[in-house]
Structure 1
């Protein structure tokens, strides 16, 4: 099976600050910022838990870059790598598209990479973090290339292609 990395994501204290700093250093973006992304359900390490997070999405060459922050206290796939209160930040995951999130997560679990977290957004979109940190130093995010996702990726890419300067950040709402 051949997978393509679609996204590189960094855990940070503030997605807006991180996006602007990355833009200034490397020319990435512009960025679309979603605050408090609504979830219908989130299960971390087999236990349902609250998971309030925000993300900034931009294009960096051929790959989407995401900055993520956790807004609530408590365990999550983010906190698995960057414990609460540690003040540590960095690469959290790369993301790939798969036909079936649950089937791929089960296949990877069979290879020794456990499911760290599975979440469902209020619109039914599913994403999962598989714990590949011991082998690769980061987690792997899985999601299916449904039209809403591929359209979002295309919109971010087109914004980068058209960007002529100006506002680096645009706030968006996710459902």
Structure 2
């Protein structure tokens, strides 16, 4: 048995990350949201097939958990479209994220337990992450990544900025553009 892994992030698939982040902020007071457009990936293997994956995400804090809103910018099969058919207009929870000691060891453990890997990907800087298809068992996927400094630093940054909005901005400082990669 392994030690319990706390949920670090809840991610929702949406058609427009900016609109979703603003709506969540208005309902729950979350944010501000840091919006990264067209996040560069060096590799995206969807169910064993190398594919393009162009996505945009908005990251904000809601209490003790990070919230991510993610949209897919390009057409085609993906771990996102596995749950929400392309062009359907449907949206909802997609995954929860966990920090693991080793992405490969966790992949091996989940596949041995009968789960498929929906996505094995790497950022432009080589940072690896994976989506485990646990939809039938839990209603969402799991995102796995190792808590490297660049990631934990980003999580800490978003958490420290929680509730700090720039009222002089047109949207009240809820949305802040950033670049990843």
Q: TM-score, normalised by structure 1?
A: 0.97
Does residue 117 of structure 2 align to residue 81 of structure 1? no
Aligned-pair CA distance for 1:163: 4.2
Q: Which moved more, 1:165-174 or 1:123-132?
A: 165-174
1:120 aligned partner? 122
Residue deviations 1:67-110 (CA, integer Å, cap 9, x gap): 00000001110000001011110000000000111110111011
CA distance in 2, matches of 1:164, 1:121: 30
Matches within 5 A, 1:16-165: 16-163=18-165, 165=167
Aligned-pair CA distance for 1:164: 6.9
1:4 aligned partner? 6
- SS of 1:8's partner is strand
- SS of 2:162's partner is helix
* Number of equivalences: 175
1:168 aligned partner? 174
CA distance in 2, matches of 1:16, 1:28: 13
CA distance in 2, matches of 1:174, 1:89: 24
- SS of 1:41's partner is strand
Residue deviations 1:94-138 (CA, integer Å, cap 9, x gap): 000001111101110111111010110111111100000000000
Unaligned 5+ runs, structure 2: none
RMSD value, Cα: 1.0
Aligned-pair CA distance for 1:162: 3.9
Q: TM-score, normalised by structure 2?
A: 0.94
Q: Which moved more, 1:162-171 or 1:65-74?
A: 162-171
Misfit runs of 4+, over 2 Å: 161-166
